Amino acid sequence: MVALSSLQSLTSLILMNSYSSSSSSSPSPSTSSPKAFLTRRKSIFFASSVLGSFLHFYTDPAPSFQFARAEEDEFEQEEEHVVQLFQETSPSVVFIKDLELVKNPKGTNEIMSTEDGSAKVEGTGSGFIWDKTGHIVTNYHVVAKLATDTSGLQRCEVVLVDANGSNFTKEGKIIGFDPAYDLAVLKVDMEGNELIPAILGTSNDLHVGQSCFAIGNPYGYENTLTTGVVSGLGREIPSPNGKAIRGAIQTDAAINSGNSGGPLIDSYGHVIGVNTATFTRKGTGISSGVNFAIPIDTVVKIVPYLVVYGTPYTDRY
């Protein structure tokens, strides 16, 4: 408003000067009229140009600023949502170590930790808490050595987080597995600890393009979050026993060695699949971005039989 008032005053001043100049320099109205008219018209044109330039310079930037601010607020809300999603879901994810006992002269096979050198880590994987009684769901191929062990030297160490946020380690006992669907269930002793089970979602209403998140322990790095979208549905992938797992979820959320058995979750923190496989670039071992998860609807059908009977549904009927 101040700038506009100043410009109005400037315009009036220019016009007054033009009138004054034309009046004082012309001896008679008859001879000076054309020149005075041209001078006034030039003055008006000049004043209009100046006014237009200043108005353009002082254009209110509020609309563009508000638009940029709205975009920034939306991005911050999105970011905060992902942070909260991880904080609420990660306590339900576990770190699994596949161990082999090292024989010693005393012939004991007890194991509580790998720190004393009584066992060597042969592989790592992920899993998630199925219920408060200590059942853990993971991939069969993560614990395949334990499931087929005949030497008595294989062990499984599970790192968990309790309801108070404290880390602790327990030995995982395998109670059931189904190689056809690459699923297995471990059981840990929960005496003195309270667990936070994962919240299960559904996979029959997924859509290509919706956001998804993978939480696991790639290459042994605990509590790693990767983000992406559902890239495809109804895929077919090979199982450890050579058969096909149908209906798999394809995602571009990075899944690498150690992510296997961990949960694929949606934007609400609900488990929609069990991360199980990735295509790697030949000779590099690097994920190609084509990753797969066993749909949770399939998992829900298989796991209860493994918990109760220790064998797959197909083995009983």
> What is the side-by-side strand order in the sheet with 183-187?
167-171, 154-161, 93-101, 119-129, 135-138, 183-187, 173-178
Per-residue pLDDT, averaged over 7-28, amounts to: 47
Torsion angle defined by CA atoms of residues 64, 210, 257 and 300, in that order, rounded to the nearest 10 degrees: 150
pLDDT band at 243 (very low <50, low <70, confident <90, very high): confident
Query: What pLDDT, on the 0 to 100 scale, is given for residue 132?
Result: 93
Query: What pLDDT, on the 0 to 100 scale, is given for residue 312?
Result: 76
> How many CB atoms within 10 Å of residue 238?
11
Looking at per-residue pLDDT, the higher value among 239 and 44 belongs to 239
Asked if the model's pLDDT at residue 18 lies above 50, the reply is no
Query: What pLDDT, on the 0 to 100 scale, is given for residue 285?
Result: 61
pLDDT band at 20 (very low <50, low <70, confident <90, very high): very low
pLDDT band at 298 (very low <50, low <70, confident <90, very high): very high
Query: What pLDDT, on the 0 to 100 scale, is given for residue 82?
Result: 93
3-state secondary structure of 302: helix
Per-residue pLDDT, averaged over 85-98, amounts to: 94
Phi-psi region of 310 (alpha: psi -120 to 50; beta: other; left: phi over 0): left
Asked if the model's pLDDT at residue 28 lies above 50, the reply is no
pLDDT band at 63 (very low <50, low <70, confident <90, very high): low
Asked if the model's pLDDT at residue 194 lies above 60, the reply is yes
Query: What pLDDT, on the 0 to 100 scale, is given for residue 56?
Result: 52
Active site residues: 141, 182, 260
Query: What pLDDT, on the 0 to 100 scale, is given for residue 193?
Result: 85
Asked if the model's pLDDT at residue 149 lies above 50, the reply is yes
